[in-house]
Copies of this chain bind each other. A is one copy, B any other.
Amino acid sequence: MLSAPATIATERAYVRRLKHHAPLQDEDIVALEGRLGRVEIHAPGKDLELAKTQPLFLISGWACLAHSLRDGRRQIIAFLLAGDGVGFDLLTRPQPHIELLALTPLKVRYAQPGSLALNERLGRAFAGAAAEQQTRLVGHLVRLGRQTAYERVAHLLLELHGRLAEIGEARGEGFHLPVKQEVLADALGLSLVHVNRTLQQMRRDGLIDLRGSQVSLLDRPGLELAGDQRA
């Protein structure tokens, strides 16, 4: 059982996420919660060992899925935020050589192994959530394949802001971006230095404000013009 209201709100980001994709009944939630287990907190930098662990939901904090090459190059496959699930269904099913990395202090809740699609509605909810992740994956692929550094950064900032807004972690046009530029670089397929250059340029262009790890999207139309990838 959960205690304080504030706790409830955050503990259940994943419920809101799932409800977003299918109209879940109270009984579904109960059934789902029945399959959820212990909560753990991990320190930033911790590798959660995707391959060996049970599926889990992110309660709070940022994580990422990353693939490292022999020589140390690293590609971040996806960012994971509160409410995101890992290890269910398809997306984020264990894959060779992919690690699940805590980027901030991370609170996760583990689930029983095996599908949590306990009924039709939950099935649709999980499928919807997985499809959403998949869409983001494709967007990321397009970024890496065919967008310039400037476009990639703009596109990623918009994506993150949108996702954070959905889970109530944005403040208007601003949000907290708790990652080093090195991490952005590994996500965007760029060098650390060039990420910095690009951020400076966007700052000079008046598109964003950046102080510490606080970002503000000052000129959303401008950012969308720069980053959007519609046909």
Contact of A93 among B68, B75, B131, B189 (CB under 8 A): B131
Question: A44: shortest Cβ distance to chain B, in Å?
Answer: 21
Q: How far is the CA of A142 from the CA of B98 in the complex (A)?
A: 11
For the complex, count residues of A whose C-beta is within 8 A of B.
Answer: 35
Residues of chain B within 8 A (CB-CB) of A93 are 131, 134
Q: Is A102 an interface residue (CB 8 A)?
A: no
Q: Is A89 an interface residue (CB 8 A)?
A: yes
A111-140 interface bits toward B, Cβ cutoff 8 Å, 1 = contact, 0 = none: 000000000000000010011001101101
Contact of A130 among B90, B135, B146 (CB under 8 A): B90
Question: Is B131 a contact of A90 with CB atoms below 8 Å?
Answer: yes
Residues of chain B within 8 A (CB-CB) of A89 are 90, 127
Contact of A91 among B77, B90, B96 (CB under 8 A): B90
Residues of chain B within 8 A (CB-CB) of A220 are none
Q: What is the chain B residue whose CB lies nearest that of A99?
A: B231
Contact of A97 among B73, B90, B97, B230 (CB under 8 A): B230
Contact of A134 among B91, B140, B189 (CB under 8 A): B91
Question: Is A189 a contact of B144 with CB atoms below 8 Å?
Answer: yes
Question: Is A141 a contact of B91 with CB atoms below 8 Å?
Answer: no
Q: How far is the CA of A93 from the CA of B98 in the complex (A)?
A: 24
Residues of chain B within 8 A (CB-CB) of A231 are 67-70, 97
- The binding surface of chain A is classed by DSSP as mixed
Question: Is B229 a contact of A69 with CB atoms below 8 Å?
Answer: yes
A33-54 interface bits toward B, Cβ cutoff 8 Å, 1 = contact, 0 = none: 0000000000000000000000
Question: Is A69 a contact of B141 with CB atoms below 8 Å?
Answer: no
User: Could you tell me which residues of chain A, from 66 to 106, have a CB within 8 Å of some CB in chain B?
Assistant: 67-70, 73-75, 77, 89-91, 93, 95-98
A179-215 interface bits toward B, Cβ cutoff 8 Å, 1 = contact, 0 = none: 0000000001100000000000000000000000000
Q: Is A172 an interface residue (CB 8 A)?
A: no
Residues of chain B within 8 A (CB-CB) of A75 are 141-142, 145-146
Q: How far is the CA of A95 from the CA of B230 in the complex (A)?
A: 12
Question: A99: shortest Cβ distance to chain B, in Å?
Answer: 8
Question: Is B146 a contact of A229 with CB atoms below 8 Å?
Answer: no
